[in-house]
Amino acid sequence: MQGLAMKAILVTKHGGPEVLSYTDVPTPQPGPTEALVKIDATGVNFIDIYFRTGLYKADPPFILGQEGAGVVEEVGSEVTSVKPGDRVAYTGIRGTYAEHHAVAADKLVKIPDGVDTKLAAALMLQGMTVHYLTHSTYALKSGDTCLIHAAAGGVGLLAVQIAKMRGATVIGTCSTEEKAANVRAAGADHVILYTKEDFVARVEEITGGKGIDVAYDGVGQTTWEGSLNCLKPRGMLVCFGNASGPVPPIDPLRLAAGGSLFLTRPTLNHYVATREELEWRATDLLNWVRDGKLDVRIGEEYPLAEAGQAQIDLASRKTSGKLVLIP
């Protein structure tokens, strides 16, 4: 493959979607511990926008994208865990907005028969995020009540379903009636249109004044304060994203005044730090999809060349479910 060109989306400088360049770059060659994956589907995620704008640090030029699935075409001399022809999915290595990617073989997870490659791509970043949020950061249990913001989003629709599997009462927020229908279909017990209603007052009403055990907040700037105000004493705010902008610094005394609250700002890498943890989360998710227990809603598919449009749609709150790019 070396020497041949492939198509990829390059970030040549930080900025708006216009800085994305669909261009020819050399097809990578796998190193001794890597596999060359022909990518069939790559997930679009908010983190791609953060890297494009420079909110998260990476020096241009670089190929965007953190989540992919496809077929192994070639393996390095030391790789025994996968072989050419295997269908695989992965996350955590930038460069998936491309036709091929040389990936550390120990990051790859084999896709079981009966699971579509596109769905597997969708599960690796958003699905594993929901897995660690609901199983590890705050391990939900029967009797808990959780708040999930942007519940109609890629992370959100998975979070609602998985929180229900854990036995929790789920309150989801979203911006429109159309999205609310998707959140209800995913199994949420209550849906709040936070663009029209005061979500703190509604949570108080729903919980009879008790408050919630945990708020999963990927919206950030516009919701974090309300999320804190929804918690019961010793509840936890899991601030895991910045879809509306970053959260400002928080005074620890604010946590004391709110009822000895917990605040955490987790990120996926630290929750798939070992191969064992990666396999636990990925296997659960892939098996749930294969067995019909988890529905992955693909909101929209775009050709790779239209990555900019996909990011515009994601950032403009138009979308529900997962967006994928097809190289």
Task: Give residues in contact with ligand NDP (CB under 6 A).
Answer: 45-47, 125-126, 129, 150, 152-156, 174-175, 179, 218-219, 222, 240-244, 266-268, 314-315, 317, 319
Q: Which is nearer to ligand NDP, 161 or 319 (CB)?
A: 319
- The CA distance from 238 to 148, in Å, is 10
Dihedral sign of CA atoms 237, 243, 245, 246 in order: positive
- The least distance separating ligand NDP from the CB of residue 4, rounded to whole angstroms, comes to 32
The answer to whether 63 and 9 are in contact (CB under 8 A) is yes
Decide whether 29 or 175 has the Cβ nearer to ligand NDP: 175
Instruction: Report in angstroms how near the CB of residue 155 gets to ligand NDP at its nearest.
Output: 4
User: Between β-strands 20-26 and 5-11, what pairing exists: parallel, antiparallel or unpaired?
Assistant: antiparallel
Q: Which two tokens stand for residue 115?
A: 């699971």
Pick 159 or 168: Cβ nearer ligand NDP: 159
Closest contact distance (angstroms) between CB of 26 and ligand NDP is: 29
Tell me the angle at which helices 154-165 and 177-185 cross, rounded to the nearest 10 degrees.
30
For ligand NDP, the closer of residues 137 and 145 by Cβ is 137
Minimum CB–partner distance for residue 38 and ligand NDP (Å):
24
Residue with Cβ nearer ligand NDP (42 or 126)? 126
The DSSP code sequence of 190-216 is EEEETTTS-HHHHHHHHTTT--EEEEE
The secondary structure element, H or E, covering residue 283 is: helix 275-290
Rounded to a whole number of angstroms, the minimum distance from the CB of residue 153 to ligand NDP is 2
For ligand NDP, the closer of residues 21 and 136 by Cβ is 136
State the minimum distance, in angstroms, from the CB of residue 129 to ligand NDP: 4
- DSSP type of residue 117: H
Cis peptide before 61 (omega within 30 of 0): yes
Distance (Å, whole) CA 238 – CA 196: 23
